Structure 1
Amino acid sequence: MPLSASPVVRRARLGVELRRLRRRESLTLEQVCLRLGWASTSKLSRIELGQSRPDLADVLDLLDVYGVPSPQRDELIVIARDAATGRGWSRALGEMGERQRAYAELEAGAERIVEYQGVLVPGLLQTPAYTRLRVSAGALLTADVDVEADVRARAVRQELLARADPPHYTALVEERVCDPDGLPVDVWREQLRRLLALAERSHVDIRVLPAGASSGDAPHPLAPFSYYAYPDPADPRTVLVETLTTDLRLTAEADVAHYEGIVERLLATALPAEATVELLARRLGSAPVPRPREPRGTG
């Protein structure tokens, strides 16, 4: 099911717009809440920070206070409705943990996605077997990980790359990501074949950063990150930085611009797409073919 603009992104956009309107009227949080009879400023603060699903009636009251005329008022009402969306998204995304849902919501409405990974194949490119082994290994470091639910969640997210109007997707991976690193041979060969198949799609760009390319003055991100840009230029470009236990979502212009600069430097350092495909094909050709197990005797 194709999903429209991400409610997470729309909440951030709505919050920015409402904060700008309040400041234009030289009103404090306290003054606005007093006019509306709201018990505390926390409600308005959370709306402006994009941290809560807004009630459309509350947004209409805020637009009245700020004296917003049409057509700007109509545009903000559309954004508020997108921001308040919930049921359709829950049905479409199905069973997902909080972290997987955060990625899915940012991915779904994106026009461009760039991901950097230093150790693992990015989730949108993983086979189920690869996901299962990697998530199982990571479960030793984090608590309450449902491995099979994570595998299913990635499969739902990967439908994004097969839809009729997919985003342009770029994966930037260090060369060591192309090594089996203890994986069973059959799992690794399947994963290499998956990467080569996806690289044939016009909207997928897989680029390898050769070993040693991150030394010296070249960029070397300290953590995996994902970058998202949207068709509506007023929707905030977003960066999600991955950590062991949670993910940091960045929307401030200065933060996002910093990561955009990192992306450009990584692209300049990485192998071209054609050379990346050749490297993956060589790795697949040199990977040993797993031998079938010999039947055990019964005597």
Structure 2
Amino acid sequence: MPLPTSPVVRRARLGAELRQLRRQATLTLEQVCERLGWASTSKLSRIELGQSRPDLADVFDLLDVYEVPTGQREALIVIARDAATNRSWWRALGEMGERQRTYAELEAGAATIFEYQPATVPGLLQTRAYARLRVTAGRLLDPEVDVDADTRARTARQDVLHRMDAPRYTAVLAEAALGCAGAPGHVWREQARHLVSLTRRPNVTIRVLPHGAPVAGSVIHPLTPFSCYAFPDPADPRTVVLETLTTDLRLTTEPDVRRYEQLANWLLDAALSGADTVELLSRHAEE
């Protein structure tokens, strides 16, 4: 069964709606917090930025301050309930670290997903053996990572591609991601064959970006992995996530999202065709 609407997306949408309501009421953060008796503006700021799971009582108080009419109020309460993560979400996602949980929430609620990876195979496309190697490598930066739990979580996320209402998924892999450096030959062969098998799924597109292929006129390819998510409800903010070594940057403003969507289109234009990608992956699987 599909998971409910993604809480992380609903938090971003709720925050944007509440921020707009406050500005329409010509109130500052300080004035709102003073009326509600909140000790500082940080609580309201985090709600508006979608950085915290909102308490429904706090949302009701804010709607009262902004004198929101009944129809709009009811719609916002529905969004607020989605934003306040419930226990069924956590059970459905299983045991995950905070970074993986954010990706899982975005993936589970998405209608479309685009991923660009310059050096590795994306998590949704990894075999268990390959995923374990990647998680183990991550322990160099975070020795507290539970390799077994994190590997199980990463492979559990992949169920999203096999649901009845699975999102349309597109991945562009730089040719460097097909290198098997650090992976035993049998692990990489299994991974390459798995990629070929995934290209047969109607909702999955995988394309390889060759070394030196010009992207929008430049042969210097982006070095930072990123993912783009769009959702069934067009009012939910399209989201871009930039992956770094220690944390992930989530972007939801329209100008930022448009830039990365344009970059995604340029990468697709420069990548090999679907047939050529399958041929290349098949060759890797046999070498």
TM-score relative to the length of structure 1 = 0.91
Bigger Cα Rg = 1
Secondary structure (helix, strand or coil) at the match of 1:232 reads: coil
Superposed, which structure 2 residues align to 1:53-68 within 5 Å? 53-68=53-68
Code of the aligned partner of 1:148: D
Select between 112-121 and 128-137 the one with higher mean Cα deviation.
Answer: 128-137
Select between 176-185 and 263-272 the one with higher mean Cα deviation.
Answer: 176-185
Superposed, which structure 2 residues align to 1:17-56 within 5 Å? 17-56=17-56
Structure 2, gaps ≥5 residues long: none
* Residue 156 of structure 2: aligned partner: 156
Q: Structure 1, residues 21-53: CA drift from partner, whole Å, max 9, x if none?
A: 110111111211222222222221111111111
Q: Structure 1, residues 117-149: CA drift from partner, whole Å, max 9, x if none?
A: 111110000001011122223322443222111
CA distance in 1: counterparts of 2:261 and 2:163, whole angstroms: 26
CA distance in 2: counterparts of 1:145 and 1:95, whole angstroms: 12
CA distance in 2: counterparts of 1:213 and 1:154, whole angstroms: 31
* Residue 251 of structure 2: aligned partner: 250
Superposed, which structure 2 residues align to 1:135-214 within 5 Å? 135-214=135-214
Code of the aligned partner of 2:49: L
CA distance in 2: counterparts of 1:38 and 1:142, whole angstroms: 36
Does the 8 Å contact 1:219/1:266 carry over to 2? no
CA distance in 2: counterparts of 1:90 and 1:267, whole angstroms: 35
Superposed, which structure 2 residues align to 1:6-21 within 5 Å? 6-21=6-21
- 1:271 is aligned to 2:239: no
How much does 1:180 deviate? 2.1
Does the 8 Å contact 2:190/2:285 carry over to 1? no
How much does 1:233 deviate? 1.3
Secondary structure (helix, strand or coil) at the match of 1:71 reads: helix
* Residue 260 of structure 2: aligned partner: 259
Select between 241-250 and 213-222 the one with higher mean Cα deviation.
Answer: 213-222
CA distance in 1: counterparts of 2:54 and 2:121, whole angstroms: 36
* Residue 227 of structure 1: aligned partner: 228
Secondary structure (helix, strand or coil) at the match of 2:70 reads: coil
CA distance in 2: counterparts of 1:138 and 1:79, whole angstroms: 35
**What's the C-alpha RMSD, in Å, of the aligned pairs?**
1.5
| Percent of aligned pairs sharing the same letter | 67
* Residue 236 of structure 1: aligned partner: 237
Q: Structure 1, residues 72-104: CA drift from partner, whole Å, max 9, x if none?
A: 211111100000123111111111011111111
- 1:132 is aligned to 2:115: no
Structure 1, gaps ≥5 residues long: 288-299
Change in CA separation of 1:32 and 1:220 when aligned onto 2, cut-off 3 Å: same
TM-score relative to the length of structure 2 = 0.95
- 1:116 is aligned to 2:108: no
Does the 8 Å contact 1:219/1:265 carry over to 2? no
CA distance in 2: counterparts of 1:223 and 1:193, whole angstroms: 26
Secondary structure (helix, strand or coil) at the match of 1:279 reads: helix
* Residue 87 of structure 1: aligned partner: 87
Q: Structure 1, residues 237-280: CA drift from partner, whole Å, max 9, x if none?
A: 11111111111111122221111111011011011212211211
Secondary structure (helix, strand or coil) at the match of 1:244 reads: coil
